[in-house]
Structures are given as structure tokens and as C-alpha cells.
Amino acid sequence: TQLLEQSPQFLSIQEGENLTVYCNSSSVFSSLQWYRQEPGEGPVLLVTVVTGGEVKKLKRLTFQFGDARKDSSLHITAAQPGDTGLYLCAGPPRGSDMRFGAGTRLTVKP
């Protein structure tokens, strides 16, 4: 069982559509991070959320940390083919050991 459960596992949409992916846990996290990984490369940090209820925006990407700090969501508005990739959430359950979810593999078709 994953400490961080991500859904959906796979998502294929058309360019211009909106989407939301989720990261859930039964544990409370001091912070959660979102990374994007492209084929043949390592994950790259997109954002860190720290405060319960926090919302952060990065261009067309909106990240939210749940009030109880157990879950997070990533919403993409008007998805583009360049958004294609594996989206991973991560958090330190014991303060310094960064654990990752299994990821959502997003494909945006032109």
C-alpha cells in the first residue's frame, strides 16, 4: 500500500480541456510537493505546499493542500501537449524521508 495514493493512474485528454489529479493519504504531512517527470529524465519540482488550505498557482496549474494536510490536488486549465508527463506528489512522513506517490501519467493530445 502506497503512503501517498494518486488518482487517476492514467489520464488522456484533448488539448484545451481541464483536468484535476489527486494525492491522498491517511497520514498528516508537514508539507507536500508536486513534481513532473518527462521520459528519460528525473522528476523536477513544480511546487511545495505547506499550510493547510493553501492554494498556489503556477501559470495554468493550481495546487491545493487539504485543510487537514492529508491530501492535495493539482488542477490544470486548458491543458497543452507540453503538459504531458508523469505528475508525482511527495512528502516527508517523518520529517526528512521524502516519499513519492505512484504518479498520474498525463497525455495531452493535440
Partner 1 sequence: DAGVIQSPRHEVTEMGQEVTLRCKPISGHDYLFWYRQTMMRGLELLIYFNNNVPIDDSGMPEDRFSAKMPNASFSTLKIQPSEPRDSAVYFCASSLRINTIYFGEGSWLTVV
Q: Which residues of 50-61 are buried (b: 16+ CB within 10 A; e: fewer)?
A: eeeebeeeeeeb
User: Judged by CB under 8 A, does residue 22 bind partner 1?
Assistant: no
By the 8 A CB rule, do 43 and 109 touch? no
Of 36 and 70, the one with the shorter C-beta distance to partner 1 is 36
User: Judged by CB under 8 A, does residue 102 bind partner 1?
Assistant: yes
Of 59 and 97, the one with the shorter C-beta distance to partner 1 is 97
User: Judged by CB under 8 A, does residue 1 bind partner 1?
Assistant: no
- Select from 14-22, 37-45, 51-59, 62-70 the region that touches partner 1 (CB under 8 A): 37-45
Q: How distant, in Å, are the alpha carbons of 19, 50, 54, 75 from that of 8?
A: 11, 23, 22, 13
User: Judged by CB under 8 A, does residue 101 bind partner 1?
Assistant: yes
User: Judged by CB under 8 A, does residue 90 bind partner 1?
Assistant: yes
User: Judged by CB under 8 A, does residue 96 bind partner 1?
Assistant: yes
- Most distant CA pair in the chain, distance: 41
d(CA 62, CA 82): 16
What are the residues binding partner 1 (CB under 8 A)? Answer: 2, 33, 40-45, 48, 88, 90, 92, 95-103
